[in-house]
Structure formats: structure tokens, C-alpha cells
Chains A and B, each alone.
Chain A
Amino acid sequence: MTLRRLLKSLVIPVFLLVGLHASAQETILVSGKVSDSKDGSPLVGVSINVKGTTTGTTSDATGKFSLKAKPGATIVFTYVGFVNHEVVVSTPEMNVALTAVQSSLNEVVVIGYGTARKKDLTGAVANVTSKDFQKGNITTPEQLIAGKVAGVSIISNSGRPGAGSTIRIRGGSSLVASNDPLIVVDGVPLDYNGISGAANPLSFINSNDIESFTVLKDASAAAIYGSRANNGVIIITTKKGKGGALRFTFNTNNSVSQLFNKVDVLSSSEVKSLVNQYGSPKQMSQLGNSNTDWQDQIYQTGFGTDNNLTMMGGLKNLPYRLTVGYMNQTGVLKTDNLQKTSVSLALNPTFLDNHLKVDLNLKGSAQNTRFADEGAIGTAVGFDPTQPIYSNDKRYGGYFEWREADGSLIQNRANNPLGMLEQRWDEQNPKRLISNLQLDYKFHFLPELRANMNAALDYSNSEGHVYVPDSAASNYTSGGLYRQSKQEKKNSVFDFYLNYAKDIKSINSRVDVTAGYSYNNFWTKNYFYRDLNAKHDTIAGTKNVNFPYDIPENTLMSYWARLIYNYGSRYFLTASLRRDGSSRFSKENRWGTFPSLGLAWSIKNEDFMKSNKTFSELKLRLGYGLTGQQDGIGNYDYLSRYGLGAQTAAYQMGSQYVTYYGPFGFNSNLKWEELTSYNAAIDFGFLNNRINGSIDFYLRKSQDLLNNVPQAAATNFSSYVLANVGSLENKGVEFTLNTNPVRNTNFNLNVNFNVAYNDNQITKLNYNPNDPTGLPTGTAAAVNGFVQIHQVGYSRNTFYMYQQIYDENGKPIEGLFEDRNRDGILNDKDKNYVHSAVADWIGGFNADFTYKKWSGGFVMRGSLNNYVYNNVFANRGRLNNVTGAYIIGNASSNYLTTQFKGENDKQTLSDYYLENASFLRMDNIFAGYNFGKVLRDAATLRLNASVQNVFVITKYQGLDPEIANGIDQNIYPRPTVFSLAINLDF
């Protein structure tokens, strides 16, 4: 019995359906080769099915196939990017040439509430399908398209397994509200808030299941999502069952993660000599004799394995796809671990002569995570290297800790970094199930009319705890820690729409009209628990929580309509209108209207261009749209409310501790942020689209921006209240170029390039238009106040710092800054607006090739003029990091350059620490080999080796130039990951 048969016999009963009883009589063995009609090159992996049966196969690495079919049966060849081809069986030999879909323009793109033909698109829509995804060990889906789409910046937040990313489409249009795009998975808009106990809510989606990403960049495309579309929309579509014979795919990806870089700190002997020179007698007596590299102690080599078994096929008219996945990844920070088990099922049957299409998607995932205490990273950098890792006794778990002579812990000490990791179990078990049922019904009496209903529930349940034993220094006084946590979330979606699409030949037009209703409810239940000690006893000085739980909830209700019109395949129009109601605003401001209009002119399809040999595509697009934003606003901010203070914050009157009711700040006039955006673009293609691309110009004007606005003192119950007062502009240009320089039987090469320029400028901040105050933002360690400011006339997150003065040798002089206003006093009036954390230019460059059975490629990303404040230098590059406290510490080796003592309160705000962090990163490089048929032709095997985060070219002196907010504190460093993937199809 072959493995395939074994699996089949196991799996089929699961479906409780009887299938696969294709009769053996009269069948013949049909075999042949599938090739590209253009150049005769073999096509690998073409789906070949006998129509009306479940019999099917795929072409192998040389394009060859064989299957059994009755003479007279029809064999269907399907292949992404090629026109479907049908052949009636007559002879045993069948060689087929498939024709590429003309410039992919008949491809259908998911655009939100339906699909559109690519050629009908008028907006800035980018589509990335699985064949173009980044390869390698990807633990979170958005990284699949990093560097692939012009104007979309995806920066991973840390090197933690499964960590999320900061995604910015066209520069971000908000200040305090969210700048994250809306993410929609199979029609289910995801909650913008995270899931408790998970590093990143997107990590629940198995990267393996994703078929495509569609990025709606401009408002003419995104406005169909109305009030949540300000920052663009990313639509994730997962793979569906396609029917045909039962096929299995098994892939396993195994990886090793390694750090090649750590923060340069002083050596043990350097610390010793500094303490002996500058330290107190107490500190001299504290010096140890060890030579401990604390960073080496907290980091390790990470290992990961990600395994997925997919089964797909069709049972009668029930196409299905089932994936089971298991991932286990240890972090490079000791004790960090992410385990994930996922199951996803797609059932895609049709009924009533294909009039009713049903899509059922279930995506379930359970994570089992131990979060390492990231505080250990900074502690390790600053911990005295002369001390040993372990003490000679058993107190405090055996770890070296700073003690007084009597053995008790010193107040305001740093805890042993390794002890911080190994004596803390922050274990979380979030589970999530995203399920949706979509019914699409083509009316029998009017097949151009469809009714579509999508009902979805995104449910998650997270439970976990933090446990610290009573021996750990961190929680020694309270006898350890047991902190319970629990959260439930229900995000329900109901969409209904009617779509009418018809080619009206008489007027040379195609009309596609959709109108619908959408309901979205976000429900969260956060449980509250009192902290207990390691023995689960109460800790002195803690009180019971006031409420066992809280249920924040919000609802969105929408009506919308869209028209896609095409005249003679030359003139295109897309118009949409959405009306959104949100529970987050008062009745007066609850509803907003969001229109859009897109126009396109396909010049190539004009008669005068038809004979033009140079252009294979030339299209002009113009778009306008109004979108909104309400993420980042509290659920009840418009209401005047009172909250009950904790029992530990009561006021004692007589002998009674009275818990109080206090009023919250509120703004009953709160409403949507609005963004008006304009887009003008040219799509072009040459040489039969072997060179193609587009240039987009855009202008995005945000108004009624939410900002935390100071309230005149005592006029509200909070001195800062969220209000719609700001405005901001982004303008930019995006250029995408895809080329296919070599394409022949043996060798195919694609080289793609994208680059985007964005200019971000704040145009209004406060009620008072001439107010010079700005909105300070960006706190950092050892900084008095803020590092950045939002200020009118400048980019958001502009650095606002003192101007350093240097000596004749170019060495910065501690505490000496330019008195910019020449008033003889150095104060915040002398601060200077210097650069922004937001890059001017971002780009991606990637190439991939196939040569015979080999394949390979790389993805590079770059960023120009993103500035980073090196807080590691500022906070740690001073003498008093070593000798300034009661205990000895360590400093960044930047101290050796500056010799700063650390006695000046403005020094950390010096522009000396601001660096241009432009970079070019080799994100990913991979090589693959296709073995073709193996195991006596029972399976095809592919191997893929890849390296992620290969190298970074930058002048930035810190560990990593890629910091989303531009403030480099001690982030969890991003490791280099080597992985080997094996893919077996059978």
C-alpha cells in the first residue's frame, strides 16, 4: 500500500462521503506533456482533471503527466496565468500547449465585497499571489509581501518569533489614531486590537494557507471599506478547494536562527579600571573577578520547525482543502518559545447547477507561548561584567544578585538578566477560530444577478498566567508571583449584497453594479484578577479587583453601493458610496458618507494604438475618494462617564476607606477622521508585457484628524481630550517595474523593482492655528521629556533636539549646545527640528529565476533618509552608567568615543545621537531544486534553502537601522535565519 493510499483510506471516512469509485472499465492511460504555447517550455504543476470526475493529476517537473480516462471524456488543464484548456480523449498520447492569459488582464482580483477583472481596475490596487511570496521561515503572514509592493512599508517589530509588524501604506495618515491598514481575511475584517497572550493577531493565520494579498492603496479603491480605510486595506484570500483528485502536499521548514550582532559594551577590565578611577569605595569593594558577557548569556541559537500537511481534492461536487500545521519556534532570547497548531478547512461546493456557490472557511489555531522577559535585553547590556553568573549559594535561585552585607537585596538594583529569563514563566494559550460561510446565488431567472451573503465569526479565547517563583529576586518581597489572565473576543460580521454584472453589447458596455449592507460587531471580554504570590496566596497590600470583567464593544453598520462600468474596454469608471454608522460616536455624529470615483482610459485599446508594437499595455488611471478612520478611539469616548477607582486608591474618611467614582474626560463632538485622496497613474507594458509596470502619483489630505488636544484647564475632566482638529498631507509617487528579461525552455528570469517617495507634512494641529507648541511625542530612556514632535510644517515624528557643539577634533562636548535663539539661556526654545523618523524613499528589489530544475532568488529592501535616534548610545554611553549608581553598571562603548560623564540633563536630547539610518537589507535569498518524481513516481519533491535577514548595508551605528518609530531602545534583535524546506506533492 502506498503512502498515498494509506492516507486516502484514513481520510475518506472523515468526510463520511463515498467517492472515488471511478469505474475501471474501458479506461485508457492517457499521457503527454504540457508546454507553454509561446516557447514550448514545460509547464510544471498544471492541474489536469477528467471533467465531471474526481480523477486528476498534475504535470511533473518536465511537464509530463499521465492519467486514466475513458475515451470521449473531456480532460481539463488549468494553470494559474494561463487560459483553461479542454481536450476530448481519443488517443493515449496528448500533448497540450497552454496559452498565457493575455497580460494577465483577465485575472480576477479580490477588491472587497466581490472581485473585479484586473483590466477594469481604476484604483491603485496591488496584488501579490503565493508564487511571489517571500520564501523561508515566515512566522507571520504580512512578512510574505515585505518589499514586494511599492509604497507599502512592512517593518517587523522585533526578532521575537511570531512578532507583528508595523505596516504603513503611503506614509500613514493619522497622528494619534491608528495608522495600521484594515486587514480583511476572506471577507472578515480583523479587529485592530491585538489578542491577549499573542505576539501578533495575524500570527494565527497560517502563512501556508494564503493564496493572495490584495493591497488597496488609494481611496478610490479602499473607500468601499468607508470609515476604516484611511490607511489602506490589505485583503488576504486563503486557498480554496479546487476539486479534482485527492492530492497531498506536505511541507516542512526547519530553521536555525542566529544573532551575529550585539550591543558593544565595555569589557570587564575596562569597567574595573573605570570603577577604580571614578567609583565610590563601596563600588570598588563590589568589583568582581569574573568576565561575563551578559548578552552571550541571554541569547541562544533559535530552532524552528514548521510543518504543514495539506489535503485537497473533491468529493463529488464538494471541493475541499484541509491543512494541518504545527510550528515550534524558539527565540534567540532564552526561554522564548512559540508553538502553534493550526487547522484550516475550506469547503467550496456548488449546488443548483452551479447557481449556488458555497464557501465555508474554518481557520483554527492554538498557540502555546512562553514569552521571555524582554527587559533582560536592556539589563544584560547594562549589567556589571565583573560579576559571575551564579552565586555560590542557593539564595535567589542560585543567581548572582546585588545584595547588601546582610544578604538582603539592594533597592534599585538590576536583577540578574539570566535569572530574569529563567525564573519567569509567562505562558499564554490563545486560541482563535475564524469561520465564515459565504453563499453566492446566481438567480435562475436572471443569471446576471447574484445575491451574496457572508456570515463570519472571529472568536478567540486566551488564557494564561505569569509565574515567578518566590526565590526570584524580581518578586522576592511578595513571595513570587502568580498572575492570571483571560480574554474572550467575538468579532461577528454579516454582509449581504446584490450584484448585477452584464455585458451590454448594444451599447458596447459592461456594467457591474453592487449594493449591500454590512454589519460588524466587536465584542471583547477582559477578565480581571488579583495578583497572587507563587503559592497562590494573597500578597500584602493588594486588594480585590472591583469588577470581575469588562466588556468593551463596538458596532459598525454600513450601506454601500458600487458601479464598475466599462465602455468598449477603453473607458472605465468605478464609483462607490458607503454610509457607515459607528457606535463610537454620539447620535449626531454617528453616520458618515464616503464616496469614491475612479476613471481609467486604456489607450492601448484605442484603434490608433492597436497596431502599435512598442506598447503592449498603456492605461491612464485617475482616482478620488473619501475615507474615514475610527480605530484608535475608545469605545465610549463621546459619553460623559464615571469610573470606580480601585480599592487600593480609596480615600480614608474617618475609619472608612471610600472607593470613589470619578468622571472621565469626554468629547461629545467626536467624529470620524477623514481622508481625501487623489491618485493619478499610468500602467504600461512593453514587449508583450515582458516589461511592465506603473507609476502612481498621489495626494492624501487628512482632515479632522484625531489628536489629543489640551483642554483649557478645568473645562473638562481630563486636560487632554481626543478631538478632531488636525490635518496632514501625504504626497508621493510610486514606481513599479516588472521585467522578464529571459524566458526560454530552460531558463526563466524575473527581475522586479519598486520604489516609492513620500512626503508627509502636518498642516494643522490645534484649535489655535498659530499655536507654536506642537505635540511632543516619543519618549525614550534617560530623556527629559520627548524626543520627537508633531509640528505644523513638518513631517510627523520629526526629531526635536538640541544642536550639539563639537571640539576641533570633531568630538562632541558634553552639555554644550547651540543657543539658537541667542538669548543667553539654553532651554527648550533652542531645540531644533531635525529630520524625521519617516523615510523619504522606500523600495524593494527582487529577482527570481528557474533554470532547468533549479530555482533561486532574492528580495532586497531599502529605505532612504529614515532617521533613528540612537537611544542605546544616549542612555548608555556615559560614565555614570558604570559608576553613577549605588551598584556598578556597564556602558555602551560609545562612552569611549564621547567620554561623557552623564551630568548634563540635556545631553540625551543632543542631535549627536540622531543618525541617518538609510539602509539596504537583503531580506531573503533562496535556492531551490525540483527533484521531480520521486518514490517510484508517487510524489514530486522540491527542496528549498533560504536565508533571511542576510545582511544590512547602513551607516547607522546601532544594531539595526530598521526601527518603526525611529527610537532605538533595546529591541529584541532580529536574527539571521537559515532554513531548509522540503515540499512533497503526492
Chain B
Amino acid sequence: MKNRHHVLVLFLAAVIVSTGCEKKLDLLPTNDITAETVFSTAAGYKQAAAKFYASMVVEGNPTRDIPPEIVSDMGNTGFLRMYWYLQCLSTDEAGWTYFNNTDPVGIHQMTWSANTQVIAGLYYRCYYTIGVCNNFIQQSTDAKLSERGITGADATEIKALRAEAQFLRAYNYWVLLDNFGNVPFIDDSYVFGSGVLPKQIKAAELFKYVEDQLKAIDAGTDMKAARTNENGRADKGAVWALLARLYLNAKVYSGADRYTDAITYANKVIAAGYKLHPKYKELMLADNDLIAEKSAPAQEFIWTIRYDGTNTQTWSGTTFLVHGPSGVTGDSSGSNGTWNCMRITEQFVDKFASSDIRGQFWTSTQSKTMDVLLGDGTKGYSSSKFRNKTRTGAIGPHTNASKDFVDIDFPIFRLAEIYLIYAEATLRGGSGGNSTTALGYVNELRTRAYNGSTSGNLIPADLTLNFVLDERGRELFWEGHRRTDLIRYGLFTTGTYLWAWKGDVRNGTAVDSKYNLYPIPAIDLSANPNLVQNPGY
């Protein structure tokens, strides 16, 4: 009998021990943490702010920011690479050899559609950054800060980061405005995960929003003054530079020109004390962070996004501008060699005079004419403008062992562009500038481009709008401006200016004007029935 009781007791004990407690279903992750923990200290805020900046440089970690459903290959999902595809590869600046799923298929030929991966990729990258910025702004309101007991210098620093989040949101909306025109709008009033679908706004409204945001940041005191923030973070210099760029293109965006405003903000930038770095060939080197230092003898860079071969590794940043160009040897580029992807149309090469040092064309393995676009990396020159070497010729000090990742920072804004905005806006009739100053700025660039010689300098009559377009092409080549420029000049889709393989034809052809805007990705049309596709797609 005794044994029986033992059995029953055993059963009963086991049942009691194991059942009943539904709390066992409350499990939390080991290493991931909640918002309350992240935003409890000033250091946590800075780590959260590092995320919106990192969204401009890396693909995402520990998980991808842009899922494979949008862009299958992770190495294509970083901001700069996709921005470059849409801004440079779509123009006379570059063609692309390959056409696998890892590649920007149809961008150079202008045969893209609402399903093209890298187009959707840039769109979602911008919104990803906007989402992270919105979240940071929500978490850093004055109310939240005081609720969390953060005051004094910590609070001031967090407010500066909040202003930078607002700026970065405005910058990304500008990218969307420029590339997609009419896009969904969402700001920090949005409740994440609520499922509420954003409304689409017209390009002109978005232009107004970006303008208002930037002006508000400029008017406020939270954003750090020009040339006072840490290297890699934006300050008022970047705010003004974006305003100048926005106003230069205002007619495309909103129908009304704003050249006077462009000059106003270009002047603000110039007055802040930025100077041209004396050597053009040092602009895109492994130690070009020096050019963004406020202590530099000539701080040309207004705001850079920063890469590092060890600490900020990505396949999508300047590393892609180092490996991508066809033929360039590893010895020359400071990497493990070329991916044989990018070549330049002969029409673009022809814009450079022989003594202009800025093209830095790679010719030894290449033929000049781009007779074949796909599958042959030797047709067309490429360029070694981006080199993972320091000014002394040493390889980037943080380059990883396999020499995949590089140390080159990328300037989103630099003074040379501001000079050219000033010149163009003045030529286009904006007030507040004058043609003599404009000529002086352009000749400063020309002298640097001719390696200190004034042989390439202009006389006043040379300074025409078409000259400025070509000069922008030469000075800012592969830096992400070309498509915007060609659209502003009405040359992007029309037959006035043709280049190799424009419209998928060897010597180029005009294409439908719908290609002046990229299509809203089919994926977002599916997710958000409020959206209407851009005309023609």
C-alpha cells in the first residue's frame, strides 16, 4: 500500500511543480533591449543617434535594414551605392558590366520599372532613415528628457542630436523629392506599428516641407553652428548647403525658381570659412577625413558620411567606388583589385581637357568607346578617383586583412559644389550674387583642376550655363549629382544630349519623359493603397 502512495505523491508533486504558472510564457531576449533601456542615458541616446547616421553608411546590423524581398543582395543595400546607381549610373557618367541579381539592371539603359530592385532599395533606405529619425525625435522631446531626468549638458547634446535627426530626415526627404517626386509623407507624429497608412504628397508640398524644416533648424539654437560639430555629424553648414541645393532645383520640384535663395544660402556657407583643399587628387583618399576637420588649414568638406575599413565595414560605401571601376589594379586602388563593373561613356570622357587632372581615368586595360555595355568590362575608360591610400601613398591604415573595406569618407556637401551653385544661380538671374565673384569661384576650381596652373581659367564670356553644367560634371564626377543636373538642364531624357547606351541604344536615344522621375516601388503601392504611381509607369 505504501508504494501506491509514493506513486501518487510523486505524480502530484510533479504536476504541481510543472503546471499553473503562465508567467513561464513571458520570455525576453538575452541581448536585445527595449526602448526604455536604450533611451535611459545620454550615452544610450548617442548610440541611438549613431543608428540614423549608420543608416547612411552600412547595410544594417545585426539584421539588414533593407530586407531581401526588396534588394536580394545585401551588398547593394547601403545608401551611397544605391544613390550612386540612381544619380550617376543612369547618366553619361557610368555604365555597368553585369546583370545578375546583384546588379543595377537597366539603370544605365533607362529600362527600369517599378520592380527594379535598386530603385526600391534607395526609396526604402531613405524611409528607413526617416523612420529611425522620427523615432529618435519622438524619444527626445523635452517632455521625454525631463521624464527621464536628463538635464544640463547631456540634455543640450541630445537636443543637438535631435536637430541632426530633423536635418537627416529633411535630407532624405530631399533625396526622395529629387528622385521620386510624389511620395508618402510621415513625420514624428506617427505611432509606429499602428498600421495607419501614410498619405502621398505632391512634390511641391514636399519641397515646402523640406524648406520649412531646414529653415526651422537654422532658426533654432539646438543645431550646432557651422564648423563646430564633430567630424561625421551635420551642423548648420550642412543645413545651408542643402537649402542652396534645394533652391537651385526649386523649379524642377515646385515649378517656381528660387535662385536668389540659392545664392543667399550659398553665401552663408562660404561666409562660414570653408576653403578649397589645395590638391584635387587628395579629395577621395583614405585620409580625406582631414579635409572635414574644422582644424584643417582648408576645410572643404561640409558634411561627410564616414567609412572605415575596420570599424565601419560595408560593401555599399566608398569601397564600391574603389573596387567597382573596371580594370583598376589593387595596387593602384589600395584594395584587393577590381570588380570590373563601372566604365564611363566616351561622351563624358570627352568633356575633360587633357591637362584637367580631375578625371583620373584608367585607360591601360580599357578602350575608350563603350561599344559593348553588358558582359565586357574593357569597353570604356574607368577612373581611379577613389583610392584607399593616404596622401603619403600608404594603404588606408584600417583596411581589413583581405583588403575589401576601405577608409575613405564621402562628402555629401563640399565647398566646390556651393561655388558652382553660386555661379549657376547668378547666371540664372538670382540676385545677391555677382558675376565677377562667380567667375572667381569657378576659376579657383579651374586652377586646382589644372594642378595650380591658370591655363584653364575662364574669361567672363566663357562662363555660361552650359559651361557650368559641364564643369559640375568634371568637378563633381561620380559624387552623385549628375542626374539632378541633367534634369535641371532638360537633358536627361530628351534627344538634345545623347550618350552611349542611353535608352538601350549604342549611340543613345531620347526616352520617355516619365524617366525624369523614378517609379514608386510596386511593393509600396501594394502595401499602401493611398499611393498613386508616378505618371507613365
Q: Does A535 contact B (CB under 8 A)?
A: no
Bound-complex Cα distance A453 to B11 (A): 7
> What is the CB-to-nearest-CB distance from A552 to chain B, in angstroms, rounded to a whole number?
7
Q: Are B27 and A553 in contact (CB under 8 A)?
A: yes
Q: Are B72 and A779 in contact (CB under 8 A)?
A: yes
* A636-B32, A828-B113 known; A905-B308 Cβ under 8 A: no
- Write out the residue numbers on chain A whose beta carbons fall within 8 Å of the beta carbon of B128: 714, 717, 719
Chain A contacts with B in 549-577, Cβ cutoff 8 A: 549-555, 557
Q: Does A650 contact B (CB under 8 A)?
A: yes
> What is the CB-to-nearest-CB distance from A653 to chain B, in angstroms, rounded to a whole number?
5
- The segment out of B99-107, B380-388, B429-437, B447-455 that lies at the interface is B99-107
B131, closest chain A residue (CB): A714
Bound-complex Cα distance A553 to B67 (A): 24
Q: Are A776 and B31 in contact (CB under 8 A)?
A: no
- Write out the residue numbers on chain A whose beta carbons fall within 8 Å of the beta carbon of B195: 715
> B401 contacts which of A496, A541, A829, A880 (Cβ < 8 Å)?
A541
* A651-B306, A783-B100 known; A494-B132 Cβ under 8 A: no
Q: Which interface class (under 10, 10 to 19, 20 to 34, 35 or more) fits B? A: 35 or more
Q: Does B46 contact A (CB under 8 A)?
A: yes
* A642-B34, A652-B308, A657-B308 known; A667-B193 Cβ under 8 A: yes
Q: Are A552 and B99 in contact (CB under 8 A)?
A: no
* A716-B192, A784-B103 known; A662-B51 Cβ under 8 A: yes
- Write out the residue numbers on chain B whose beta carbons fall within 8 Å of the beta carbon of A827: 111, 113, 115
Interface string of A519-561 (1 = CB under 8 A from B): 1010000000000010000011111001101111111010000
Q: Are A640 and B29 in contact (CB under 8 A)?
A: no
- Write out the residue numbers on chain B whose beta carbons fall within 8 Å of the beta carbon of A776: 69
Bound-complex Cα distance A647 to B306 (A): 14
Q: Are B54 and A650 in contact (CB under 8 A)?
A: yes
Bound-complex Cα distance A443 to B488 (A): 90
- Write out the residue numbers on chain B whose beta carbons fall within 8 Å of the beta carbon of A453: 11, 14-15
Q: Are B4 and A886 in contact (CB under 8 A)?
A: no
A712, closest chain B residue (CB): B528
Interface string of B6-49 (1 = CB under 8 A from A): 01101100110011001011111111111101100000101111
Q: Are B193 and A640 in contact (CB under 8 A)?
A: yes
Q: Are A496 and B14 in contact (CB under 8 A)?
A: yes
Q: Does B334 contact A (CB under 8 A)?
A: no
Most buried by B among A651, A659, A771, A886: A651
Bound-complex Cα distance A521 to B528 (A): 39
Q: Are B524 and A712 in contact (CB under 8 A)?
A: yes
> What is the CB-to-nearest-CB distance from A568 to chain B, in angstroms, rounded to a whole number?
35
Chain A contacts with B in 657-678, Cβ cutoff 8 A: 657-664, 666-668
Q: Does A646 contact B (CB under 8 A)?
A: yes
* A478-B402, A715-B197 known; A649-B313 Cβ under 8 A: yes
- Write out the residue numbers on chain B whose beta carbons fall within 8 Å of the beta carbon of A519: 18-19, 24
Q: Does A767 contact B (CB under 8 A)?
A: yes
Q: Does B63 contact A (CB under 8 A)?
A: yes
Q: Does B408 contact A (CB under 8 A)?
A: no
Most buried by B among A541, A583, A590, A903: A541
Q: Are B38 and A642 in contact (CB under 8 A)?
A: yes
- The segment out of A186-194, A299-307, A703-711 that lies at the interface is A703-711
Q: Does A581 contact B (CB under 8 A)?
A: yes
Interface string of B253-275 (1 = CB under 8 A from A): 00000000000000000000000
Q: Are B34 and A641 in contact (CB under 8 A)?
A: yes
Interface string of A138-161 (1 = CB under 8 A from B): 000000000000000000000000
Q: Are B67 and A720 in contact (CB under 8 A)?
A: yes
Q: Does B134 contact A (CB under 8 A)?
A: yes
> B198 contacts which of A541, A712, A767 (Cβ < 8 Å)?
A712
> A541 contacts which of B63, B184, B310 (Cβ < 8 Å)?
B310
Q: Are A710 and B526 in contact (CB under 8 A)?
A: yes
Bound-complex Cα distance A230 to B22 (A): 24
Q: Does A352 contact B (CB under 8 A)?
A: yes
Q: Are B132 and A662 in contact (CB under 8 A)?
A: yes
Q: Does A13 contact B (CB under 8 A)?
A: no
Chain B contacts with A in 165-198, Cβ cutoff 8 A: 184, 186, 190, 192-198
Bound-complex Cα distance A984 to B224 (A): 86
* A636-B32, A782-B100, A905-B105 known; A714-B127 Cβ under 8 A: yes
Q: Does B495 contact A (CB under 8 A)?
A: no
* A648-B310, A659-B47, A710-B523 known; A653-B230 Cβ under 8 A: yes
Number of A-B contacts defined by CB within 8 Å: 343
Q: Does B484 contact A (CB under 8 A)?
A: no
> What is the CB-to-nearest-CB distance from B526 to chain A, in angstroms, rounded to a whole number?
4
- Write out the residue numbers on chain B whose beta carbons fall within 8 Å of the beta carbon of A651: 50-51, 53-54, 57-58, 232, 306, 312
B399, closest chain A residue (CB): A541
Q: Are B115 and A635 in contact (CB under 8 A)?
A: no
Q: Does A12 contact B (CB under 8 A)?
A: no
Interface string of B58-76 (1 = CB under 8 A from A): 1011110111111010000
- Write out the residue numbers on chain B whose beta carbons fall within 8 Å of the beta carbon of A708: 67, 69
> B526 contacts which of A659, A662, A766 (Cβ < 8 Å)?
A766
* A783-B100, A901-B375 known; A661-B105 Cβ under 8 A: no
Q: Are B193 and A652 in contact (CB under 8 A)?
A: no
Q: Does B87 contact A (CB under 8 A)?
A: no
- Write out the residue numbers on chain A whose beta carbons fall within 8 Å of the beta carbon of B105: 784, 905
Q: Are B132 and A654 in contact (CB under 8 A)?
A: no
Q: Are B18 and A902 in contact (CB under 8 A)?
A: no
- The segment out of B201-209, B337-345, B349-357, B456-464 that lies at the interface is B337-345
Chain A contacts with B in 213-246, Cβ cutoff 8 A: none
* A356-B7, A649-B314, A714-B127 known; A719-B67 Cβ under 8 A: yes
> B35 contacts which of A355, A541, A546, A663 (Cβ < 8 Å)?
A663
Q: Are B400 and A542 in contact (CB under 8 A)?
A: yes
> What is the CB-to-nearest-CB distance from B103 to chain A, in angstroms, rounded to a whole number?
7
Q: Are A653 and B11 in contact (CB under 8 A)?
A: no
Q: Does A713 contact B (CB under 8 A)?
A: yes
- Write out the residue numbers on chain B whose beta carbons fall within 8 Å of the beta carbon of A709: 527
Q: Does A410 contact B (CB under 8 A)?
A: yes
Bound-complex Cα distance A726 to B400 (A): 45
* A412-B339, A713-B524, A720-B69 known; A496-B193 Cβ under 8 A: no
- Write out the residue numbers on chain A whose beta carbons fall within 8 Å of the beta carbon of B530: 712
Bound-complex Cα distance A541 to B51 (A): 21
Q: Are B375 and A410 in contact (CB under 8 A)?
A: no
Q: Does A439 contact B (CB under 8 A)?
A: yes
Q: Are B67 and A779 in contact (CB under 8 A)?
A: no
Q: Does A444 contact B (CB under 8 A)?
A: yes
A723, closest chain B residue (CB): B195
Interface string of B319-359 (1 = CB under 8 A from A): 00000000000100000111110000000000000000000
Bound-complex Cα distance A718 to B523 (A): 13
Q: Does A285 contact B (CB under 8 A)?
A: no
> B3 contacts which of A351, A542, A712 (Cβ < 8 Å)?
A351
- Write out the residue numbers on chain B whose beta carbons fall within 8 Å of the beta carbon of A521: 24
Contacts A710-B523, A711-B527 supplied; 8 other A-B pairs, CB < 8 Å: A441-B8, A541-B399, A583-B26, A645-B54, A654-B233, A659-B50, A720-B69, A785-B117
Closest 6 CB pairs of A and B: A541-B400, A411-B337, A654-B230, A905-B99, A660-B50, A713-B127
B residues adjacent to A (C-beta < 8 A) = 3-4, 7-8, 10-11, 14-15, 18-19, 22, 24-35, 37-38, 44, 46-51, 53-54, 57-58, 60-63, 65-70, 72, 99-101, 103, 105-106, 111, 113, 115, 117, 123-124, 127-128, 130-132, 134-135, 184, 186, 190, 192-198, 230-233, 306, 308-314, 330, 336-340, 372, 374-378, 398-405, 522-530
What are 8 sample pairs from A and B whose C-beta atoms fall under 8 A apart?
A352-B7, A552-B30, A642-B35, A767-B527, A768-B526, A768-B527, A768-B529, A905-B374
A residues adjacent to B (C-beta < 8 A) = 280, 351-352, 355-356, 410-412, 439, 441, 444, 451, 453, 455, 477-479, 494, 496, 517, 519, 521, 533, 539-543, 546-547, 549-555, 557, 581-583, 590, 635-636, 639-655, 657-664, 666-668, 708-720, 766-768, 771-773, 775-776, 779, 781-786, 825, 827-829, 880, 884, 886, 901-905
